[in-house]
Structure 1
Amino acid sequence: FQAWAAGAGVEPLLATATQLAAFQSWLVTVYRSPSGRPLAKTTCSTRLAQVQAWYRWAHGRGLICIDPSRTIGVHVPRSRVVVREYLTLQEATALVQTQAGVVAAAKAGTHTHAEAIRNLAAICLSLTTGRRIGGMTTLHVAHLDCARRELRIEREKGSTGRVLPVAGWAIDVAALYLREARPLLARGHDAPWLFLNLSGDGPISRDALRWMLEQLIVRTVAENPDLVELPTKRITWHSLRVSFATLLFSNGCDIRSVNELLLHRQLSTTARYTPIPIEDLRQVFRVAHPRP
């Protein structure tokens, strides 16, 4: 809102209802996210609600005499399924195999090889734990227990932490990274983070993870022409999180367990963005419903 106001020559505290309506129109029709896409309706509603909350606060503090945002119509949908892109089991397998091919093609002992192993470990841990991109950047080496096949999450997006199980094959990749790649990437630094940047003195950034996944998706599509739906999907790190939950659902995991693994506070949050296919519901009904 501040960026729009500066560009339009509007002083936020002196804005009129007409000017806020212009902001609303700009947000819906003109603004584009960093990825170049228009905002979803729910995101637009959230942004407008934030502006309204700020004006209510300013009015309550006596900074403005009249709240110009009262005329803005904001509707935030509740309790609905949020359709997100996710990977099928075949696509997820192809993604891992493609990155494994990158590792195999790199010369052992080089930083390129170490970086490829790091990226493979990050993909594997994301697909088997459902961690957010922010959570991946803040993981420490001490959080991963390869012997017990566990990952300790101390805090993520306001949620209290817990210990999560990790698939054995993902632990094997992580152990390979810790043994052969991370010491090379560290460049002598004693950094605590699990996934290091190329300088070795800090954690890998979100932008680096996003760029890596984008390049990997392009390579996976090129090497797997049989995956006809993958080129049409917009796969992000959050897509890997949704893929984790969806694959658990499709293999019989109950929603309460997925809720705990995703560290969601409310069950409704898990249900909203992790849709259960109707055929799965029919199967559960046939198995669980008592017969007269």
Structure 2
Amino acid sequence: MQPEIEAFIRALTKASRASRNTVAGYGRDLADFRAFLLTMPSASGADGEPNGDVDVALISADHIRLYLAHLMKSASRATVQRRLSAIKAFFRYREGTTGAPSPARALRSPKLERRLPAILQPSEVERLIEADTGDNSPATLRDRAIMETLYSSGLRVSELVGLNWRDIDDEIGMITVRAGKGDKDRVVPIGEPALEALMAWRRVMPVAWEADGPVITNLRGRRLTTRSVEKIVANRLIRAGLASSITPHGLRHCFATHMLGNGADLRSIQEMLGHASLATTQKYTHVSMNHLKEVYRRAHPRA
């Protein structure tokens, strides 16, 4: 099975619509599926494969169902759905290259629980951004630029750390997000406060900036990781005195919800967020409706 997974990953890498994150995620998901199958003799033949691998031809829908049931004991529905998507994609590829029917074709993904994204109020976002006002050290100026940019443009954290200076047009206030989710480029607005924060960081960067160099770096000049940004946001929440576990992605939710609440239309928000489907963007209407219901409940005499 391992050689076939590797062939699938190579084919997926060449596909123009597949982002690096998608390819890496599918690789991890299929490796986990293979590891599960290695514990099942029925997936590797009576005597097992000579190299200790899984015989893909022996994988049935029942093997996949057993794997999904195993996952459901500890993983979220979103994780289970993603793993099944990877398995379906792998067998679709195999069907196209070998003609062997896919055992995953008739399997359906579990329905996702509808959970509304956690958000901060605008005043709380301001507290988060202003947490270190007065401190002009390079690390602090960088962290402020991170907060401002995430909230100002609604970027995914992977898109933020992937930015190069040439992607920021400070004259017209726009950012080009290159190879975002789905490997699609898009252009999004960025506000003056965020631009000022980015320029303040650029002036004190420990390593001289270059047009093709990273925007967000550590203090040694290397591109920051998504995990490092998550830690920066978590630490800043503590300094701001906010009892919230919001993540960098949560600031993206704040961007969309506050835009919607202030009159932006869903289509524009969809474009700025880089959502392929309007249905994905529509979850923010539920957040706004909950807020309206709460206002109504507090204000109406007969609510």
Q: Same fold (TM over 0.5)?
A: yes
Residues 57-72 of structure 1 correspond to what in structure 2 (within 5 A)? 57-59=93-95, 61-62=97-98, 68-69=103-104, 72=107
Kindly indicate whether the alpha-carbon contact (under 8 Å) linking 1:81 and 1:275 is maintained by their aligned counterparts in 2: no
Which residue of structure 2 lines up, in the alignment, with residue 123 of structure 1? 147
TM-aligned CA deviation for residue 59 of structure 1? 5.0
Deviations 1:49-108 (A, max 9, x none): 3313423543565486x754467443456xx9652222211221121122x24x62xxx5
TM-aligned CA deviation for residue 254 of structure 1? 1.9
Which residue of structure 2 lines up, in the alignment, with residue 90 of structure 1? 123
CA distance in 2, matches of 1:60, 1:159: 25
CA distance in 1, matches of 2:274, 2:107: 34
Structure 1 stretches of 5 or more lacking a match? 31-37, 225-229, 283-292
CA distance in 1, matches of 2:265, 2:92: 42
What is the identity percentage for the equivalent residue pairs of Structure 1 and Structure 2? Answer: 21
The alignment status of 1:50 with 2:62, answered yes or no, reads no
Residues 200-211 of structure 1 correspond to what in structure 2 (within 5 A)? 200=221, 202-211=222-231
Q: In structure 1, which of residues 246, 251, 257 is the aligned counterpart of residue 268 of structure 2? A: 257
Which residue of structure 1 lines up, in the alignment, with residue 72 of structure 2? 28
The alignment status of 1:6 with 2:29, answered yes or no, reads no
The alignment status of 1:216 with 2:236, answered yes or no, reads yes
CA distance in 2, matches of 1:85, 1:280: 12
Structure 2 stretches of 5 or more lacking a match? 1-29, 41-53, 294-303
CA distance in 2, matches of 1:204, 1:24: 35
3-state SS in 2 of match to 1:275 = helix
Q: 1:203 to 1:281 in 2, by over 3 A?
A: same
Q: In structure 2, which of residues 247, 265, 276 is the aligned counterpart of residue 236 of structure 1? A: 247
Q: 1:196 to 1:5 in 2, by over 3 A?
A: same
3-state SS in 2 of match to 1:244 = helix
TM-score (norm 2): 0.69
Q: 1:24 to 1:247 in 2, by over 3 A?
A: same
CA distance in 2, matches of 1:125, 1:149: 12
TM-aligned CA deviation for residue 244 of structure 1? 0.3
Q: 1:71 to 1:266 in 2, by over 3 A?
A: closer
By relative contact order (CA 8 Å, sep 6+), the higher-ranking structure is 1
User: Does 268-277 or 113-122 show the bigger shift?
Assistant: 268-277
Q: In structure 1, which of residues 177, 181, 184 is the aligned counterpart of residue 201 of structure 2? A: 177
Which residue of structure 2 lines up, in the alignment, with residue 74 of structure 1? 109
CA distance in 2, matches of 1:12, 1:240: 45
Deviations 1:149-186 (A, max 9, x none): 33233442233322x3322222222221122x22x2x1
Which residue of structure 1 lines up, in the alignment, with residue 219 of structure 2? 198
CA distance in 2, matches of 1:144, 1:60: 41
Q: 1:67 to 1:171 in 2, by over 3 A?
A: closer
3-state SS in 2 of match to 1:151 = strand
Kindly indicate whether the alpha-carbon contact (under 8 Å) linking 1:159 and 1:264 is maintained by their aligned counterparts in 2: no
Aligned-residue CA RMSD in angstroms? 3.0
TM-aligned CA deviation for residue 243 of structure 1? 0.6
TM-score (norm 1): 0.71
Which residue of structure 2 lines up, in the alignment, with residue 289 of structure 1? none
Count of matched residue pairs? 247
Which residue of structure 2 lines up, in the alignment, with residue 145 of structure 1? 169
TM-aligned CA deviation for residue 12 of structure 1? 5.6
